[in-house]
A and B are shown apart, each in its own frame.
Chain A
Amino acid sequence: SAVISQKPSRDICQRGTSLTIQCQVDSQVTMMFWYRQQPGQSLTLIATANQGSEATYESGFVIDKFPISRPNLTFSTLTVSNMSPEDSSIYLCSVAYGQEVSGAFFGQGTRLTVV
C-alpha cells in the first residue's frame, strides 16, 4: 500500500481565513479523493482530484469553497476557503490505484477547528 503524508495534522483557524491541506503519496496513484468527517459522522466525499484538470465535486460541495489542485500523480491539495465554525471537521486524503488494485488508503487526516 502507499505511504500517504498529509499535513498539517491539525490547525486552529480564525473564521474568514483559508487553510490549504497537502497530500503527498510515495508512488503514483490513479485516484485521489478528499473526504470530510464531521463529529460523530462517517466519511463524506468532497471531491475526486483529477490530475491536470478540475476536480469532480460531489453534491453540496463547490469549487469556490473547496478548491482542489492535483498537478501530478503523487500530490494534491485541498483548500478550505472563507472558513466558518461549521467547517470544523477532520479532512482526509485518500488514494486508490483504480483498475490495477482494489481498495482505498488514507492519509493521517487533518483536524481543523475554526474559531
Chain B
Amino acid sequence: EDKVVQSPLSLVVHEGDTVTLNCSYEVTNFRSLLWYKQEKKAPTFLFMLTSSGIEKKSGRLSSILDKKELFSILNITATQTGDSAIYLCAVENTGNQFYFGTGTSLTVIP
C-alpha cells in the first residue's frame, strides 16, 4: 500500500531554534515529493523535489530528497513565530496520484 509518513506529529520550539521535519514514503512509480505549509485553510507550495541529493533552498527553509532511502527532510533555521503551521509532505506518482502525510504541526514560541 502506498503511504507517506511524517514525523514528528507535532513540535514546539523557541524562536531562533532550528527544526528538521521528516517525511518517509513508500510509493510505487515515484515522480516527485512536495512540501506544503498550511496555516489556515489552503496548503501553500514550498518545494518540489525530484532528484536525490540536490538541496532546494528558500530563505531559511531548505529541503533535500534521498530516493534510495525513500525520505526527505525539511529544515527551518532561525525559526520565527510566523513559521508556526502544519507542514505537509506529499508524493506524486507517475499516474498523477498524490499521497499526503498526516502533517507535522510546528509551534514556535516567542
Contact = CB atoms under 8 A, between A and B. Distances in A.
A7 B3 CA distance: 30
Contacts of B40: 109
Contacts of B100: 42-43
B20 to A, nearest CB: 20
Nearest to A41: B102
Interface in A80-108: 90, 92, 94, 96, 98-99, 102-108
B101 A104 contact: no
A42 B101 contact: yes
A30 B42 CA distance: 20
Given A42-B101, A109-B41, A104 B34 contact: yes
A18 interface: no
B88 A43 contact: yes
Contacts, number: 52
A42 B103 contact: yes
Interface string B81-96: 0000000101010001
Contact of A108 (B41, B48, B92): B41
A30 B97 CA distance: 12
Contacts of B90: 104
A1 interface: yes
A99 B96 contact: yes
8 nearest interchain CB pairs?
A109-B41, A102-B32, A109-B42, A42-B102, A106-B42, A43-B100, A108-B42, A103-B48
Interface of B: 31-32, 34, 36, 40-45, 48, 50, 88, 90, 92, 96, 98, 100-103
20 contacts: A1-B45, A30-B96, A33-B98, A42-B102, A43-B88, A92-B41, A92-B43, A94-B98, A96-B96, A96-B98, A99-B96, A102-B31, A102-B48, A102-B50, A104-B92, A106-B42, A106-B43, A106-B44, A108-B41, A109-B40
